[in-house]
Chain A
Amino acid sequence: MSFKTFKIDDMDLSAAEDDTILQVAREHDIFIPTLCFLEGLSPVGACRLCLVEIKGSSKLVPACVTQVQEGMEVLTNSERLQKYRRMVIEMLFSEGNHICAVCVSNGHCDLQYLAQRLGVDHNELPYLHQQKPVDASHYRFAIDHNRCVLCTRCVRVCDEIEGAHTWDVMSHGIDSQVITDLMQPWGDSETCTSCGKCIQVCPTGALFKKSKAVAEMVKEHEFLPYLKTMRETK
């Protein structure tokens, strides 16, 4: 295997050639915000929060899918990036309904954490006030589409890990929505195995267990790398 040497934020580093910028950064405790990325699922580069600058290029690249290159100098936290990241979070807040105080995930939510960490203390963008449905037809789980950030983590875990492919995305643009089967109520789904993996990977309070009250929905993010390791060593 060949190795590459490069810099992230002025730190000299080396890594295997097919490592991504994000992998290396995480190994060295360099913070790059992510939302759609989840260790153990195929990366899709959709949320754009992990965009970083490469010195000498005006184009921003997503750290989660970009492999390191010899001599590359990565900047992870320029003012420009900070501003764009705050705008991404503001866009999500304007798109959905994220009233943390009444949410099952309050205190355990990736979106809430990112907003705090990235310094989003107010929202400049007008709220779109979309009225999206809640599907509580499943006997154990429910989805509140108003809290969905369309990261497709549920879609990928269901397809790639559980192999059920119950979830998918319907429609496009601002009308995009995750659906179960061919947009049947979740409770009527023939493919759902009720394994609950989607609940665990969902970064917000969009997917939750019915038994949870406000701020009680703690998700087990660690189960996925663990499951992968167990499957691989078997």
Chain B
Amino acid sequence: MTLDELIPFAESELEEREQYEHEIHVCVSSSCHSSNSEAIKDAIQAEIDAKGMSKTCRVKGVGCMGICAAGPMVAVDPDGVLYEQITPDHAADIVATIDKSPDERLSHPTDTPFFNRQFKIVLENAGKIDPNSIQDYIAADGYTALYKVLNEVMPKGVISRMMRSGLRGRGGAGYPAGLKWSTVAKAKGERKFVICNGDEGDPGAFMDRSIMEADPHRILEGMAIAAYAVGADQGYIYVRAEYPLAIKRLKNAIRQAKKLGFLGDNIFDTPFSFNVDIRLGAGAFVCGEETALIASVEGGRGNPRPRPPYPAAYGLWGYPTLINNAETLANVPSIMRHGAGWFSAIGTEGSKGTKVFALSGRVKNIGLIEVPMGITLREIIFDIGGGIPDGKKFKAVQTGGPSGGCIPEEYLDMPVEYESLKELGSIMGSGGMIVMDETSSMVDVAKYFMEFSMSESCGKCIPCRVGTRQMHDLLDRISKGMGTTHDLHQLEELCDMVQATSLCGLGQSAPNPVVSTLRYFRHEYLELLTDYDPDAAVAADETSEVTQ
């Protein structure tokens, strides 16, 4: 297929769209899907048929609209009306108000910061296109980036664009994507592979799931461009088996792309060939770690191994392998379409573009958001998130999940970027953001995450296998008011040792939630100790302030 053939493809979809005066979008992503949104879609369709409106109005299942807690969501285009908490019984009400003023009881305001403070790149199609339709993606400029790249840009040029864009890995560590691509491109190997990491094991995280469910072709296009740049001919998407909807949509997308020749041999009649297959993870957090993931794809036990050698040099079956996070790859088509300069103009000096966060916890608007880098935590939590419910006070925000830390009120005006979050003792992470109010105990928070790391440790190396268990037991003792100063001291020693000596990122970062809560909320720990002496603590605080 050529671009000339691609354009009519998009146009026929757009023409068809023009025949309709209205489009009703029903979210069919996991959260709304599990609240029976397919039945809502069917009910609305039936109502439209019954009213004889099927020539002017069509119903479409779309990906996540972001505000999951208010779901199931339905949107009426072009009226710009958004309905929340819809059941099939509401179908008649919704159809009756088309072209009229919206049904106030059901509508969800759209002129709020939740919508207008966001900036969408990877989620630009989410909630708009039908994830099961390749035509829809093409009509949204899909696959044009791949076409142009294959026909007009040398692999080196693609890598140079990636470097100039400043895109950094969204899987946690923030490694510059362009640099990784160029390493893999330079690595020598008879074959090369591209892996999309869609394992997403952090508790409470669903960023990658939403992207894969809402816009699966974007991932495929990103992977194909990456494969062309590094010289790979085979790709794997590693998705956890707990994401059946994402798997179904990705499989469907692969089938469609193959049929149209966007995957397979001689893509767009160029010498470039690339295939993609899906590999399922069995839901172990550690399998998201790149060397464990590779072992798992190879059919082995998902244990990490020491690096170097890095996958870029020695990856899948020993061949050079590019492994990027799903969100990282989802940025690629946009960067190629709009240029590196466009992308690098968004964000801050060291952190470019946008980041998707799963906002949860004690905040009014729970859901999925995409914001420009550099936005402050306060804007996210109080403007977009709508603040803390029930008149409670904000206490801390947790980013980075079990590998991250808690940030207190006084740093809420810090910009969201890799370096500043790290300075604060947390990390950008993959995008989990949990807000806590005054009622939450920070010792409990630390214990919760340590319990997670302990149960997800693969058990290969001693510091993580035994250390997480020992740290967990100490936290448990302290949280129950049975700990002593000696226990706290031992906990800190273990944090230091496990961080410094563990084999992989899981163990190395498992102490972070403890270290960061000790840094900002030490008094909460102290007050729980059996031998706590408030006077001594005050004295110690004063000396430590003097020495600082």
Contact = CB atoms under 8 A, between A and B. Distances in A.
Interface in B257-290: 284, 286
B470 interface: yes
B454, B470, B502, most chain A CB atoms within 10 A: B470
A95 B500 CA distance: 20
Contacts of B462: 46-48, 88, 91-92, 149-150
B467, B500, B502, most chain A CB atoms within 10 A: B500
Contacts of B497: 83-84, 87
B458 A172 contact: yes
Contact of A150 (B459, B473, B501): B459
A48 B469 contact: no
Contact of B470 (A80, A84, A91): A91
A84 B466 contact: no
A51 B284 contact: no
B306 A65 contact: yes
A80 B490 CA distance: 16
A84 B507 CA distance: 15
B286, B454, B463, B465, most chain A CB atoms within 10 A: B465
A171 B469 CA distance: 15
B463 A173 contact: no
B455 interface: yes
Contact of A126 (B465, B468, B470): B470
Contacts of B456: 172-173
A124 B459 contact: no
A176 B490 contact: no
Given A45-B306, A48-B502, A174 B467 contact: no
B59 interface: no
A84 B498 CA distance: 9
B503 A176 contact: no
Given A171-B459, A174-B454, A60 B501 contact: yes
A205 interface: no
Given A84-B501, A172-B459, A173-B465, A62 B470 contact: no
B186 interface: no
B51 interface: no
A169 B457 CA distance: 14
B459 A94 contact: no
Nearest to A169: B301
Nearest to A88: B462
A222 interface: no
Contact of B457 (A45, A83, A172): A172
Contacts of A62: 306, 503
A96 to B, nearest CB: 10
Contacts of A174: 454, 457, 459, 465-466, 468-469
Given A48-B502, A62-B306, A172 B284 contact: yes
Interface in A51-95: 51, 60, 62, 65-66, 80, 83-84, 87-88, 91-92, 94-95
A44 interface: yes
Interface residues on A, range: 20 to 34
A54 B470 CA distance: 28
A158 B500 CA distance: 32
Contacts of A172: 284, 286, 456-459
Contacts of B337: none
B465 A150 contact: yes
A111 to B, nearest CB: 11
A227 interface: no
A125 interface: yes
A48 B457 contact: no
A27 interface: no
Contact of B305 (A44, A169, A175, A176): A44
Given A95-B466, A125-B470, A47 B284 contact: no
Contacts of A65: 306
Interface string A22-59: 00000000000000000000001111100100000000
A182 interface: no
B460 interface: yes
B267 to A, nearest CB: 39
A128 interface: yes
A183 B178 CA distance: 45
A176 B465 contact: yes
A124 B501 contact: no
Contacts of B465: 95, 150, 173-174, 176
Given A88-B463, A94-B470, A173-B458, A48 B305 contact: no
Interface string B473-492: 10000000000000000100
B461 interface: yes
Contacts of B466: 91-92, 94-95, 125, 128, 174
Interface of B: 284, 286, 301, 305-306, 454-463, 465-470, 473, 490, 493-494, 497, 500-503
18 contacts: A45-B306, A46-B462, A60-B501, A66-B306, A84-B497, A84-B500, A87-B463, A91-B470, A92-B466, A94-B466, A94-B470, A128-B466, A169-B459, A172-B459, A173-B468, A175-B459, A176-B458, A176-B460
Q: What are the 10 A-B residue pairs with the smallest beta carbon separation, nearest first?
A: A176-B459, A45-B306, A91-B466, A173-B457, A174-B469, A48-B501, A173-B459, A172-B459, A95-B466, A65-B306
Interface of A: 44-48, 51, 60, 62, 65-66, 80, 83-84, 87-88, 91-92, 94-95, 124-126, 128, 149-150, 168-169, 171-176
